[in-house]
């Protein structure tokens, strides 16, 4: 191995790239000796790489048994409008999507209302399973106005995120979004996509993203595995009476 990147970081990156490919949740990692031989590095380098993966909650170690791939679990702050790929990139995790459906449909009433469309308007409906390190975390229902949707539908939706396509390729900046979060349970279709038991806890998120002129251009219904993500935020106390309150 040769690079300006420290050796432990190279080993760490190489192992992350295997997650969800040939190393699935619950699988045991190669032993320290096997990793030393494979990468041609010292024991301390291997141990630091493993410690970093443990710190990122991607690996768990069991005394006397070795290191094992963990089921991914994240804390996601709700302090900015970001897409799935951006969130996972911030954690150094490879992402991809499995496209389930791409179709033109007449907008259902809730979609028509969210996107401010006329009765009978068509939209592009896109269903995808979003994976981080090969592990399914989110099932996304996306609805786009038909003019933008027909453009986006031609792109590589397995490897490109819709936010980036809208902003960088189709000159549609996303300025803000309205969120509605709800505790829910996984119906059969969602459960199968997320590889959980039917009835398992999920976060259901409705998100409407707006572009210039407050035009809504992206309406999504997202289902996140309840055991994989914790959403966090920080809110100020309204008014001034709370200042100095213990």
Q: What is the pLDDT of residues 136-194, one digit of tens each?
A: 999 999 999 999 999 999 999 998 999 999 999 999 999 999 999 999 999 999 999 99
Give the CATH number, domain containing residue 24: 1.10.10.10
> Does residue 246 form part of some domain?
no
Assess whether 120 and 56 both reside in one domain: no
Question: Cβ neighbours of residue 17 under 8 Å, at least 6 residues apart?
Answer: 94
Burial track 147-179 (b if 16+ CB lie within 10 A, e otherwise): ebbebbbeeebeeebbbebbeeeeebebeebee
pLDDT for residue 108: 96
pLDDT for residue 223: 96
Into how many domains does the chain fold? 2
Q: What is the pLDDT of residues 49-104, one digit of tens each?
A: 999 999 888 889 988 888 998 877 778 888 889 888 888 887 777 788 999 999 99
Q: Which pair of tokens denotes residue 16?
A: 């992350």
Q: Which pair of tokens denotes residue 177?
A: 């979004």
pLDDT for residue 36: 94
Q: Taking all residues of the chain, what is their mean pLDDT, rounded to a whole number?
A: 90
> Does residue 238 form part of some domain?
no
Q: Which pair of tokens denotes residue 201?
A: 């806890």
pLDDT for residue 84: 86
> Does residue 53 form part of some domain?
yes
Query: Strand 201-211's sheet: what is its strand order?
Result: 95-106, 122-132, 135-145, 215-225, 201-211, 176-185
**Residue 97 belongs to domain spanning:** 74-232
For strands 176-185 and 74-77, give the pairing: unpaired
Give the CATH number, domain containing residue 168: 3.40.1410.10
What are the residue ranges of helices labelled H in the chain?
7-18, 32-39, 43-55, 84-89, 109-114, 146-152, 162-164, 188-194
> Does residue 122 form part of some domain?
yes
Collapsed DSSP state (helix, strand, coil) of residue 79: coil
> Does residue 140 form part of some domain?
yes
Domain boundary among 15, 46, 69: 69
């Amino acid at each position: 191995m040769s690079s300006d990147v420290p050796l432990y970081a190279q080993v760490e990156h190489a192992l992350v790239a295997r997650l969800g490919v040939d190393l699935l949740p619950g699988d045991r990692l190669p032993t320290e000796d096997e990793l030393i031989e494979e990468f041609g590095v010292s024991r301390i380098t291997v141990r630091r790489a493993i410690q970093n993966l443990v710190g990122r909650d991607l690996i768990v170690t069991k005394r006397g048994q070795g290191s094992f791939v963990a089921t991914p679990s994240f804390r996601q702050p709700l302090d900015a409008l970001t897409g799935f790929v951006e969130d996972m990139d911030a954690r150094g995790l490879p992402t991809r999507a499995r496209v389930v459906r791409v179709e033109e449909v007449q907008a259902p009433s809730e979609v028509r209302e969210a996107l401010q469309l006329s009765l009978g308007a068509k939209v592009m409906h896109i269903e995808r399973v979003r994976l981080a390190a090969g592990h399914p975390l989110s099932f996304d229902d996306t609805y786009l106005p038909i003019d933008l949707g027909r453009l986006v539908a031609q792109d590589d939706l397995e490897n490109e995120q819709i936010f980036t396509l809208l902003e960088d390729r189709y000159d549609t900046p996303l300025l803000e979004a309205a969120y509605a979060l709800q505790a829910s349970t996984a119906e059969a279709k969602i459960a199968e996509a997320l590889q959980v038991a039917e009835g398992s806890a999920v976060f259901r998120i409705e998100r409407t993203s707006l572009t210039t002129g407050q035009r809504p251009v992206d309406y999504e219904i997202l289902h996140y595995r309840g055991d994989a993500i914790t959403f966090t935020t920080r809110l100020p106390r309204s008014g001034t009476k709370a200042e100095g309150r213990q």
